[in-house]
Amino acid sequence: MNDGFRHEIPTDAKIYVSGHRGLVGSAVWRRFEAAGFTNLIGRASAELDLTDRAAVMDFFATERPDYVVAAAAKVGGVFGNAAANADFLSENLRMQVNLLDAAARNEVKRLAFLGSSCIYPAHAEQPITEDALLTGALEPTNFGYAIAKITGVLQVKALREQYGASFISLMPSNLYGPGDNFTIPGGHALPMIMRRMHEAKAAGDETFTVYGSGEPLREYLHVDDLADAVLYCLRRYDGDTHVNIGSGADLTINELSAKIAAVVGFEGRLVNDRSKKDGVYRKLMDSGKLRALGWSPSIDLDAGLKSTYEWFLDHQDDYRR
């Protein structure tokens, strides 16, 4: 596990955060700024297309970042993934390969590649340990995104073995928090439920429809906790295997919806539309490896939902649609 590893990151080191305007990247940026880092760099997709290999190579050769957090990705909820598996596979693969190759070629000191819990088999034993990777079939609704992220994990491992690159892979559970995508449809379940429920309250609806049976279990981690874990792992972990990052607890979609209703103030009745897909039944990760290194989350779900809704209310005119 390499639990004796220690690495000091100079506060003036040049740190490139890909996807720095997204949910994850913006949280990483906030956390690193709070920790005193003064030389963070980011590029919007209009400035740097990560699927353009030549452009990525030129960027790394010119900027020469010392550290990289690979947070950029094409992401979506169960409905968006199921409708465009080819796009999710192709775009994420190209972004990852270009970025990781460029980082290795330009001798980046340390890199954290961020994946997803969807890399694990649909019927993996719960809670899911890191060694469950590649032991079974994937969930069909998002196999494109999952395969891309699995490839990223394996590329990081290959770069470590072949070139001695000090790169690591981190696998967060379902994320939420400020900066989330509240698009309908296309967003993940939690922000999509929150926005729809906000609109149902505003319309005076007596019922709210939860898509699917509401029975699947999901684990949620606040994105600020993830950002803290990223910095912690860059300083404390240098192992060959990827690391799970989760809250350690899960709840059903119906239970989540009830919690969101309490935060939003929706007093109507929740009903299920069982004609909609549920996705995989459960995805609870075993984060024991990271806990053993000394890190644990600090934001509980109730507090996190409240702050996320407050952010949504403050950004209704300018959040991503």
In a domain, 315, yes or no: no
Contact yes or no for 209/275 (Cβ under 8 A): no
The answer, yes or no, to whether residue 220 has pLDDT greater than 60, is yes
C-alpha separations of 119 from 11, 111, 124, 138, 155 in Å: 33, 20, 11, 7, 14
The tens digit of pLDDT for each residue in 8-27 reads 999 999 999 999 999 999 99
CA dihedral 226, 229, 234, 239 (to 10 degrees): -100
Closest to 112 measured CA to CA, from 173, 59, 163, 153: 153
Residue with token string 């470590």: 160
Q: Which amino acid is at 197?
A: M
In a domain, 65, yes or no: yes
pLDDT of residue 319: 54
In the structure encoding, which two tokens stand for residue 207, read together? 């019922």
The tens digit of pLDDT for each residue in 242-300 reads 999 999 999 999 999 999 999 999 999 999 999 988 878 888 999 999 999 999 999 99
Sorting pLDDT into bands at 50, 70 and 90, what band is 159? very high
Structural domain count, the chain: 1
Prediction pTM value:
0.93
pLDDT of residue 320: 47
- Stated as kind and residue range, the H or E segment containing 167 is strand 167-172
In a domain, 196, yes or no: no
Catalytic residue among 67, 120, 145, 237: 145
List the end-to-end C-alpha distance of the chain, in Å, as a whole number: 42
In a domain, 199, yes or no: no
The answer, yes or no, to whether residue 321 has pLDDT greater than 50, is no
Containing structural domain, residue 233: 15-177+220-248+284-299
- Omega into 185 within 30° of 0, i.e. cis? yes
In a domain, 241, yes or no: yes
The answer, yes or no, to whether residue 192 has pLDDT greater than 70, is yes
In a domain, 166, yes or no: yes
CA–CA dist 81, 44 (Å, integer): 23
Q: State yes or no: is 309 an active-site residue.
A: no
Closest to 142 measured CA to CA, from 26, 277, 292: 277
Mean pLDDT of the 75-88 span = 67
In a domain, 195, yes or no: no
> Domain with 160 in it: what CATH number?
3.40.50.720
CA–CA dist 88, 93 (Å, integer): 8
* Burial of residue 282, with CB atoms counted within 10 A of its CB: 0-12 exposed, 13-18 middle, 19 or more buried: middle
In a domain, 304, yes or no: no
Quote the mean pLDDT of the chain. 93
Mean pLDDT of the 107-113 span = 98
In the structure encoding, which two tokens stand for residue 18, read together? 């890909």
- Flag the least confident range among 77-91, 160-174, 226-240, 301-315: 77-91
How many Cβ atoms from other residues are within 10 Å of residue 155's Cβ? 20
- pLDDT: is 287 or 187 the higher one? 287
Sorting pLDDT into bands at 50, 70 and 90, what band is 140? confident
